[in-house]
């Protein structure tokens, strides 16, 4: 499946990673890419002649995905190219790009960096009152929850505070304010929230409904593990209709939703995105404060931070842990805040996600010797992003020590889609999924101990582009297409582990 003419231009540059100590991908492979004339061990544990291992082209044809499939696999130690197809073809990376975002943030901010959310007072605390303004200051923490705010309220109460003589100010300007990660997504999907320097509960509100005695009991809550304060910022109304399932409108201080009665059944819940994160965090903080006897005036959102003293601070986990969780659970908000925070730390003030993603592309080009990827965000949610499998492999190969320990194990599955325990092939990778787009990039340890680095992109962009707005959450045939793509990715990995021993 390898076409040396497609890849030689860059491989002959000699170094896989520019300016980094790491393996080099030198020109053409030094060994034949044809299967060696000896036995090989397949993922099932069966010993077969290598000649019977399906060629990559056969596997791709059998998957019936349409569109395009590209891949690159290289030896992780020597950098030797083992197989490739369409190596320099730019395709949507989906969430595979989060691996690059993690590297960008860790190398810029440091693995021990912690996001700080602070309470500042512009005057002294006297007689239980802040004589001045109390300011809730976001530091870009993507993991701040209602429980975290409750901890801050408890600490404030521990200082003896029960009121404020001045204003209650809320500052979220540490990062740019972005109303939605990808405006093309359906309005109600929780994985496409706003982004700010002050984020809460991944900027999602918990909507729950229950039918009782012919009526609907609805709740909108800022739910966390221990805290579940009610939210008035986001309002919901049940409307007698079949479709659309949800509508959204911003009405002054409120985020107004309607939901089709036909879609509700007898009860359930889902997460909806928040579009005004600072107001959301302010309301929740006020509710939690009132529960502990702290009286606060109405919140005012400000972009200029007044001078004052920090009286309470809540820190996130270290960046390595935050990045690990982002990669394992593929949280879009975390990816965007990490990317924006890294760009800001580099002295930039990007007004859009695309501008920040462009800065990350420039960094990746200089750091790993990549052709400049075309990225529109840090999470891969926007389908206009493009990157080549070759460039993903270059970045991964130069970063194994940093990245592999925080990637999630990619489980190998049998024909019934059940996870195979104690599988002889170890894969640590980042998946990426959009409608009719599926990517996978990471590291392989073959049964014989060989270490490989790889990227696989599958995309039927024409089929994706034909989807109407109402089809984008659950398009017809989308789930089956993704299953076939995932199966192909596993089959390619099994092939490589069997042949490249």
The separation between CA 103 and the C-alpha centre of its own chain, rounded to angstroms, equals: 13
pLDDT in tens, 233-253: 999 999 999 989 999 999 999
Last residue of a domain, one of 282, 316, 350: 316
Q: Is the pLDDT of residue 146 over 80?
A: yes
Least Cα distance to 140 among 189, 198, 88, 225 occurs for 198
Same domain, 82 and 104: no
pLDDT in tens, 20-38: 223 333 222 222 233 333 3
Task: Determine which of 12-21, 170-179, 318-327 has the lowest per-residue pLDDT on average.
Answer: 12-21
Cα dihedral 201, 229, 223, 254 sign? negative
**Per-residue pLDDT, 384:** 95
Q: Rounded to an integer, what distance in angstroms lies between the CA atom of residue 315 and that of residue 143? A: 10
Same domain, 48 and 101: no
pLDDT in tens, 75-103: 999 999 999 999 999 999 999 999 999 99
Domain that holds residue 458: 1-92+386-399+408-501
DSSP state of 79: -
Provide the pLDDT confidence category of residue 50 given band limits of 50, 70 and 90.
low
Give the predicted TM-score (pTM) of the model: 0.89
Apex 323 CA angle, 386 and 207, nearest 5: 85
**Per-residue pLDDT, 21:** 27
Report the relative pairing of strands 299-302 and 254-260 from DSSP bridges. unpaired
**Per-residue pLDDT, 51:** 54
Q: What is the mean pLDDT of the chain?
A: 89
Average pLDDT over every residue of 451-462: 97
Average pLDDT over every residue of 213-220: 91
Helix axes 277-291, 146-158, angle to 10 degrees: 50
Average pLDDT over every residue of 256-267: 94
**Per-residue pLDDT, 225:** 96
Looking up residue 231, the CATH number of its domain turns out to be 3.50.80.20
Same domain, 140 and 209: yes
Same domain, 265 and 191: yes
List the beta bridge partners of residue 134.
Answer: 121, 168
DSSP string for residues in 460-481? -HHHHHT--GGGSSS-TTHHHH
Q: Where are the beta strands (DSSP E) in 352-483?
A: 387-388, 408-409, 426-434, 437-445, 451-459
**Per-residue pLDDT, 416:** 85
pLDDT in tens, 336-382: 999 999 999 999 999 999 999 999 999 999 999 998 799 999 999 99
Average pLDDT over every residue of 439-467: 96
Same domain, 327 and 303: no
Three-state SS annotation for 80-91: CEEEEECCCCEE
Looking up residue 86, the CATH number of its domain turns out to be 3.40.710
User: Residue 8 — φ and ψ, nearest 5°?
Assistant: -65, -30
Q: Which two tokens stand for residue 44?
A: 């099932």
Same domain, 438 and 448: yes
Q: Rounded to an integer, what distance in angstroms lies between the CA atom of residue 356 and that of residue 346? A: 11
Q: Is the pLDDT of residue 1 over 60?
A: no
Q: Where are the beta strands (DSSP E) in 87-159?
A: 90-91, 116-121, 125-126, 129-130, 134-137
Using a pLDDT cut of 70, give the percent of the chain over it: 90
Number of domains in the chain: 3
Q: Alpha helix locations (H) across 408-477?
A: 461-465
Same domain, 369 and 245: no
Average pLDDT over every residue of 477-496: 96
Same domain, 100 and 61: no
Q: Which two tokens stand for residue 218?
A: 């609805």
Same domain, 80 and 130: no
Same domain, 414 and 440: yes
Least Cα distance to 411 among 495, 489, 484 occurs for 489
**Per-residue pLDDT, 14:** 31
Average pLDDT over every residue of 191-208: 98
Neighbour-count burial for 198-236, b at 16+ CB within 10 Å, e otherwise: bbbbbbbbbbbbeeeeeeeebbbbbbbeebebebebbeb
Same domain, 136 and 184: yes
Q: Rounded to an integer, what distance in angstroms lies between the CA atom of residue 108 and that of residue 342? A: 6
**Per-residue pLDDT, 200:** 98
Neighbour-count burial for 22-58, b at 16+ CB within 10 Å, e otherwise: bbebbeebeeebebeeeebbbbeeeeeeeeebeebee
Provide the pLDDT confidence category of residue 425 given band limits of 50, 70 and 90.
very high
Q: Rounded to an integer, what distance in angstroms lies between the CA atom of residue 122 and that of residue 230? A: 29
Same domain, 239 and 137: yes
Report the relative pairing of strands 451-459 and 267-273 from DSSP bridges. unpaired
Q: Is the pLDDT of residue 47 over 60?
A: no
């Amino acid at each position: 499946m390898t076409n040396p003419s497609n890849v030689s231009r860059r491989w002959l540059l000699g170094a896989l990673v520019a300016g980094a100590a790491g393996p080099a991908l030198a020109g053409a492979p030094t060994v034949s890419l044809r299967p060696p004339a000896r036995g090989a061990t397949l993922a099932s544990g069966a010993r077969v002649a290598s000649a019977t291992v399906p060629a990559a082209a056969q596997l791709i044809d059998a998957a019936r995905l349409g569109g395009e499939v590209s891949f690159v696999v290289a030896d992780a130690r020597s950098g030797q190219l083992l197989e490739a197809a369409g190596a320099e073809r730019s395709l949507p990376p989906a969430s595979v790009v989060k691996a690059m975002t993690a590297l960008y943030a860790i190398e810029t901010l440091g693995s021990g960096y912690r996001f700080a959310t602070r309470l500042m007072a512009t005057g002294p605390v006297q007689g239980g009152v802040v004589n001045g303004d109390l300011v809730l200051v976001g530091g870009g923490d993507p993991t701040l929850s209602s429980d975290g705010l409750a901890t801050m309220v408890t600490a404030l109460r521990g200082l003896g505070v029960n009121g404020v003589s001045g204003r209650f100010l809320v500052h979220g300007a540490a990062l740019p304010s972005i109303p939605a990660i990808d405006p093309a997504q359906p309005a109600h999907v929780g994985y496409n929230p706003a982004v700010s320097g002050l984020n809460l509960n991944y900027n999602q509100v918990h909507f729950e409904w229950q039918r009782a005695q012919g009526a609907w009991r609805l709740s909108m809550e800022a739910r966390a593990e221990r805290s579940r304060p009610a939210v008035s910022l986001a309002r919901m109304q049940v409307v007698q209709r079949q479709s659309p399932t949800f509508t959204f409108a911003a009405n002054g201080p409120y985020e107004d939703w309607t939901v089709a009665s036909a879609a509700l059944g007898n009860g359930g819940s889902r997460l909806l995105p928040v579009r005004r994160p600072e107001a959301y965090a302010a309301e929740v903080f006020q509710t939690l404060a009132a529960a502990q006897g702290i009286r606060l005036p109405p919140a005012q959102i400000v972009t200029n931070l007044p001078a004052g003293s920090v009286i309470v601070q809540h820190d996130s986990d270290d960046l390595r842990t935050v990045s690990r969780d982002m990669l394992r659970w593929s949280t879009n908000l975390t990816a965007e805040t990490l990317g924006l925070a890294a760009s800001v730390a580099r002295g930039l003030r990007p007004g859009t996600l695309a501008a920040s993603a462009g800065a990350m592309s420039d960094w990746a080009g200089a750091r790993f010797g990549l052709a400049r990827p075309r990225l529109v965000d840090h999470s891969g949610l926007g389908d206009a992003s493009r990157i080549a499998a070759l460039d993903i492999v270059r970045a991964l190969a130069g970063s194994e020590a940093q990245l592999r320990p925080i990637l999630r194990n990619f489980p190998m599955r049998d024909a019934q889609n059940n996870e195979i325990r104690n599988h002889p092939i170890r894969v640590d990778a980042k998946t990426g999924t959009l409608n009719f787009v599926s990517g996978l990039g990471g590291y392989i340890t073959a049964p014989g101990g060989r270490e490989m680095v790889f990227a696989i992109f599958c995309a039927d962009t024409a089929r994706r582009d034909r989807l109407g707005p109402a089809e984008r959450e659950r398009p017809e045939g989308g789930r089956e297409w993704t299953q076939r793509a995932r199966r192909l990715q596993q089959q390619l990995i099994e092939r490589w582990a069997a042949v490249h021993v």
